[in-house]
Amino acid sequence: MTWQPGDAIVRREIVGDAPWLGWMVNVVEDSPNLLAIYSPPGSRFHFPPGDWPTPDGRHPWHGYQGWQGQGTLMLQRPMDRYAVWLFWDGPDREFQGWYINLESPFTRTEIGIDTMDLELDIVVAPDRSWSMKDVDLLWQRRQEGRFSLNDVRSILDLGDGIGRMLDDGDWWWDDEWIGWEPDPAWAVPAIPRNWELVDCAIQPTCEVNMSRPVSYPQRARSRRAAFSR
């Protein structure tokens, strides 16, 4: 399955074997070595009900209606456990820097891609100085049961490795992306009906596992059979 520039797909974040967040994005590039997607301003967040592994049982972004600002470009190579996000601000689209979002390798579904957020992030300024973000939050997620101790250590090792890559100047993404702009003709339709019922592409043994069982929404029928546009 290959998408064309401008195609609208669903980006889903997975916990366990179920999606707990989904929103529409536009495909910018889909090649053997790179998937680039654009999260446009106003793209609405959707949160399926469930008893999720957080203090209040809801996704941390619950309460936000959708993507804000100038939109965000997301670059990820197949099998990388991180994506490079680019941010702009203001009517002149002033570049704000890169945000390296640690996440499981994306996997394709019939409606888009699935990924699992790994909580730890790296903020890279336009001058290429960088800092680690959400280390304390990662340990909090461990206490909540979302990650095991081994998971946390693996994620921290991954972050350290990316930091060494940045220090060495080994940037695989092209600076030309800084000047990229979305096609104004692109449209983001409403999310497909029953988007949350489509089978998850991430397997329980892929990347980070849950450290304890968590209750997820019950499905009374086949997820794939229930999907329709």
| Four-point Cα dihedral 81, 35, 109, 116, nearest 10 | 20
Give the pLDDT score at 210: 31
Average pLDDT over residues 208-221: 31
- CATH class of residue range 8-226: mainly beta
Residue 3 has pLDDT above 90, yes or no: yes
Give the pLDDT score at 138: 93
The pairs formed by 124-129 with CB atoms below 8 angstroms and a separation of 24 or more are: 124/97, 124/98, 124/99, 124/100, 124/166, 125/97, 126/95, 126/96, 126/97, 128/166
Residue 20 has pLDDT above 70, yes or no: yes
Establish whether 11 is a catalytic residue. Answer: no
List pLDDT tens digits, range 38-86: 999 989 999 998 888 888 888 888 888 888 888 999 999 999 999 999 9
Domain residue spans of the chain = 8-226
Residue 217 has pLDDT above 50, yes or no: no
Residue 222 has pLDDT above 80, yes or no: no
List pLDDT tens digits, range 107-129: 999 999 999 999 999 999 999 99
Residue 211 has pLDDT above 50, yes or no: no
Residue 205 has pLDDT above 60, yes or no: no
Residue 209 has pLDDT above 70, yes or no: no
Q: How many CB atoms lie within 10 A of CB 120?
A: 23
With contact defined as beta carbons under 8 Å apart, do 138 and 156 qualify?
yes
Q: At 206, is the pLDDT very low, low, confident or very high (cuts 50, 70, 90)? A: very low
Give the pLDDT score at 202: 62
CA–CA distance, 26 with 127 (Å, rounded to integer): 28
Average pLDDT over residues 191-218: 57
Catalytic residue from among 11, 59, 133, 141:
133
List pLDDT tens digits, range 127-181: 999 999 999 989 998 888 889 999 999 999 999 999 999 999 999 999 999 999 9
> Rounded to 5 degrees, what angle do the CA atoms 133, 203, 84 make?
30
